[in-house]
Structure 1
Amino acid sequence: MTTTTDDAGGLTLDRLRTLLAAACEQAALPSNGAELIKFTNNAVFRLHQAPVVVRIAGSTAARVRVPTVVQVARWLEQHDFPAVRLLPDAEQPLQVEGHLITFWQYVPEVRPRPGGADLAALLRRLHTLPDPLQSLPRWRPMTEIRQRLAEPEDLSSSDHAFLLDECDTLEAQLAALCYALAPGVIHGDAFLGNVIAGLEGPVLCDFDSTTIGPREWDLAPVAVGSLRMDYPVGEHSALAESYGFDVTQWEGFPVLRRLRELKLVTSVLPVLRSNPRIRPQWEHRMRSFKARDMIARWQPYR
């Protein structure tokens, strides 16, 4: 097995709760009864006694992006863009024992679940905002994936080698693409799971992958989700119609689909042992990805 994470240092649930308690103590927030609502490349807690969400970066790849996440959140707030907001008057990010932690205002989901047209409206607005005064990183998806491959938990040597080879192949294919849309700020992970049905309408969340890059990439996740996941039928059609561009009809889509699926396979590599509940779904994804099975359906990591 290939692993670069020490058993004692892995982000187990006990370790996460210790970090949460320490961070909340520094921020003068109550951590008792906090609910873990997500644990993949980040661990996300909802506090029980305050309307706050706490995110703990779960890997090196996630940690290096945290300063950009904070920058993007503040930039979006300056433009009154409908997105989750950082908790005011809190140190952002907070460093606790080498881990980077951010605090966010909790957005209750009180409206019907947003659909493809809602996401399209958010993306159209995002794509027309003036660029931030502080430059964002350029879109380099293989860098992020290779960072995750540098610290896997319980990944076999053969699977590790296969995924590295896949990175090389896709990198060459991406370099040869001719994009149809003008580049600019992109969300980078624009699927419906990153849209919250807030009190005043849909809001965007999760800015870990926000960069300067091809707008086609922001249209790919819902398209790939319609092919790979058991998501509601028609969400991609609604997004394509509302945005005004169907990425599946663009000649470069097969490359973006393979890239998106590679990201969905590798996103949890640094926590495969720390969060054993995701292992069965990861193994299913890995098998079908290696076999180039284009029909197999995937389920969200739990």
Structure 2
Amino acid sequence: MSYPSPDTQTLQSVLKRVGGITGLETDEARLIKFTNNALYALDREQVVIRVAGSEPIARLVDTVIAAAEWFADHNLPTVRLWGETSQPLEVEGFMVTFWHQVPDGGSSVTGKQLGQFLRRMHSLTSAPAAIKPWQQLEATRNRITAGRRQMTTDQGKRLLALADQVANEMADVRYVLEPGPIFGDAQIGNLIAGRHGGVMCDFDSVAVGPREWDLIPAAVAQARFGFPVDHHAELVDAYGWDVTAWEHYDTFRRLRELQLLGSVLPIIDTSPRVRSQWEHRYATIDQADAAWEIYET
């Protein structure tokens, strides 16, 4: 049985059913965002409901829960699971998890906070068995292959050819940092401004692998999105190492950009804006200085 399509009407039905099961008042659920997951805030109860938006994301739910519990055990500044129901909850075929809402800290998140978090996380030498080895290239290939119906044949072939080029280069990569537990998607967008500093969320990509990968998202984001505040420079100051000076940065940069193209394929046609932004990224993926925009639904 295939994973259900996360259209607006279906998600509203899921929320209503969730309310009936948990007792949460979901009638006033506020959509925070919807890219790989649909996130809804219940402001009165201070709970966030997270609905996995595709089968690949749903398969990661056990990893997400294990990572959340592990982060809490080590007192890292991350979002916490809401403990009033067993998790995950399967509702109308969707995998649903529940989280404590982070009280608004009234300030902006910073690259310094991201760098400090990564330094703390990278000091941990082992992770729970549910957190698997890093396989970003394979995951990206699988997303591209599974998303071929959302692309032209030529687009799919081109992206897979680019993935093959990256794979060939990665066979010769010489790493500088010790491998170990990594966040996997350490971008400024996964930081929430809490009352006591930045709080990390979105654990779908937590894995065991090269620490260099955790420093790539901020560097690529600064290059592609041109944020007015240079979060990457702040991260470098806090972490103590600049991944853009690494001889294999370009290989990892292109892997990250392929990931950013493949990640939204399951939901690309839920919004004309997402489709338009994706087409622009595809057209300019070989232009390292081309400006991109954040996916917005």
TM-score between both structures, scaled by the size of structure 2: 0.94
**Who is 2:260 aligned against?**
264
CA distance in 1, matches of 2:268, 2:152: 12
What do you get for the CA RMSD once the two structures are aligned?
Answer: 1.6
181-190 or 110-119: bigger deviation: 110-119
Contact kept? 1:230, 1:299, Cα under 8 Å:
no
Contact kept? 1:43, 1:57, Cα under 8 Å:
yes
**Who is 2:287 aligned against?**
293
Contact kept? 1:60, 1:148, Cα under 8 Å:
no
CA shift for structure 1 position 48: 4.1
CA distance in 2, matches of 1:24, 1:148: 32
Alignment of 1:229 onto 2:205: no
1:1-302 equivalences in 2 (<5 Å): 9-152=4-147, 154-289=150-285, 292-302=286-296
CA distance in 1, matches of 2:202, 2:176: 26
How many residue pairs get aligned? The number is 294
140-149 or 237-246: bigger deviation: 140-149
Contact kept? 1:12, 1:275, Cα under 8 Å:
no
Instruction: After superposition, give the CA deviation of every residue in 1:22-41 in whole Å (9 maximum; x if it has no partner).
Output: 22321221111211111111
Unmatched 5+ stretches in structure 2: none
TM-score between both structures, scaled by the size of structure 1: 0.92
Unmatched 5+ stretches in structure 1: none
Instruction: After superposition, give the CA deviation of every residue in 1:119-174 in whole Å (9 maximum; x if it has no partner).
Output: 11010011112423435211100222133224325321111111122222212222
Contact kept? 2:113, 2:197, Cα under 8 Å:
no
CA distance in 2, matches of 1:147, 1:98: 21
Identity %: 40
Contact kept? 2:127, 2:208, Cα under 8 Å:
no
CA distance in 2, matches of 1:147, 1:51: 36
Change (3 A) 1:275 1:23: farther
Question: Which residue identity is paired with 2:170?
Answer: L
Give the secondary-structure state (helix, strand or coil) at the position aligned to 1:101: strand
Contact kept? 1:60, 1:147, Cα under 8 Å:
no
